[in-house]
Structure 1
Amino acid sequence: MPKVVDQEERREEIVRAVMNVIERDGLAQVTLANVAAEAGLAIGSVRHYTGTYRDLLTITMRAVADSISRRLLDRAAPYRDPDPQVRDLARRREATEEILAELLPLDARRRTETVVWFAFSEAARTDPELAREAEQHAAGTRGLIGQVLGAAARSAGAHWDVEVETYRLAALLDGLAFSAVQRPQDADLALTVLRRHLTSLLPTP
């Protein structure tokens, strides 16, 4: 009997191939032929499971965004409200750091996703379809950062402008992630900068 192929599994393999090509060679080298070769498939198979070249880019961008969002949500789930488990300010600050560190390229998986996301973000500057995907993800990420930061502010009794501080922190994280991608040896330094920023927002009495 012919082998039954799991379509979702095959699509995930193709997405991983796209990410590998982007990380190694850049977004400009993402072609159906190059992705097919990376995945060990025929070009026709890539088209069958992902559609057109444009579909391939969109599917991959969404997959990366979803992966980042899932990690953030999983990490943040226990800490969105000032519950008794994290009323201690030092622990709340530590928990906030753990959540936000998911946006820094501190291991191989996060580094790959960060490289790929920045490649798509640059392309989105002149591509309306990718721009919509990028803005949707950015808005969701800022929203979650705002929830986490707001909960931390309530725990600390802080009265700073959560909207402004959320924007500032999101911009800081973007810069730290970009710097750590360009200079992997600075990844630990990026985490230190994040920690000091949170300490300035949530100082221990």
Structure 2
Amino acid sequence: MARPSVADERTKQIVEATIRTIGTNGITGASLDRIAEEAGMSRGHVRHFVGNREELLRASARSFYYDGAEGTSILPAGTDSVASALDHLFGDEFAAPGRENAVVLGFVEAARSDPALAELIVDAYRGTHELLARLIAVEHPDADADACASTAYGIVAIALHNVFLSDIVSVATGTASARATAERLLAALP
């Protein structure tokens, strides 16, 4: 088996440092200098391996959202039922406040001025809606495709609303209510 190239290893190291830096300092605090320091490299090495800041943010978002596989979703690999999707979206790990939320918000903020980054993020969430709609269709075969799609969209919107508010309000009370609301959406389907 071939050993990964030094360039690939360094790029991965820089991307991981970028994600950590955004999580700690927000997107505006994620300067190339700060990322280089977190990666244990010079700013010149960061630029050599990943290019400018926009290219670095795109590579980092690709790693964060896709984990190397295009066309995936924010749901874990192997999610094969609506219940397992809800367990993830309203589970302790996903709903807990923390650095991962800061990373997502940072990418969203940066995407406002970078259409390529925006497309990466939208694709990840679109993939989530599509996967959840397919799972709902299997469990609700009498529901039409539009109803499954809009229910999936609603569930993801509720989960994201809950996650982002969890940074500023108690996750303990909000998550149970958010999941119950998502379950009511599902119960309304034939």
Aligned pairs for 1:78-89 within 5 A: 78-79=80-81
The share of aligned pairs that are identical, in percent, is 23
58, 73, 89: which one aligns with 1:100: 89
SS of corresponding position for 1:105: helix
Contact 2:61/2:107 (CA < 8 Å) preserved in 1? yes
- Shift of the 118–153 alpha-carbon distance from structure 1 to 2, 3 Å rule, reads farther
- In structure 1, runs of 5+ residues without a counterpart are 80-92
The structure that has the greater radius of gyration is: 1
Instruction: Name 2:40's counterpart in structure 1.
Output: 40
1:47/1:172 CA distance change after superposition, 3 Å:
same
Partner in structure 1 of residue 151 of structure 2: 165
The structure with the largest helix share of the pair is 1
- 1:24 aligns to what? 24
Task: Please name the residue that 1:84 is paired with.
Answer: none
Q: TM-score, normalised by structure 2?
A: 0.77
Give TM-score scaled by structure 1 length: 0.73
Distance 1:61 1:103 in 2: 23
Q: Confirm or deny that 1:117 pairs with 2:120.
A: no
- Given the alignment of the two structures, is residue 177 of structure 1 paired with residue 163 of structure 2, yes or no? yes
2:137 corresponds, among 139, 150, 173, to 150
From the superposition, tell whether residues 10 and 144 of structure 1 become closer, same or farther in structure 2 (CA, over 3 Å).
Answer: same
Partner AA of 2:77 in structure 1: D
**CA displacement at 1:135 relative to structure 2:** 1.9
Q: Distance in 1 between matches of 2:11 and 2:173?
A: 36
3-state secondary structure, aligned to 2:28: helix
SS in 1 for 2:113: coil
Q: Counterpart in 1 of 2:125? A: 138
Residues 144 and 41 (structure 1 numbering): CA distance in 2 closer, same or farther, change over 3 Å? same
| Offset, 1:107 | 5.8
What is the aligned-residue RMSD (CA, Å)? 3.0
1:29–1:167 CA distance, 2 compared to 1 (3 A): same
> Structure 2 CA distance, aligned partners of 1:70 and 1:140?
5
CA 95–73 in structure 1, closer or farther in 2 if over 3 Å, else same: closer
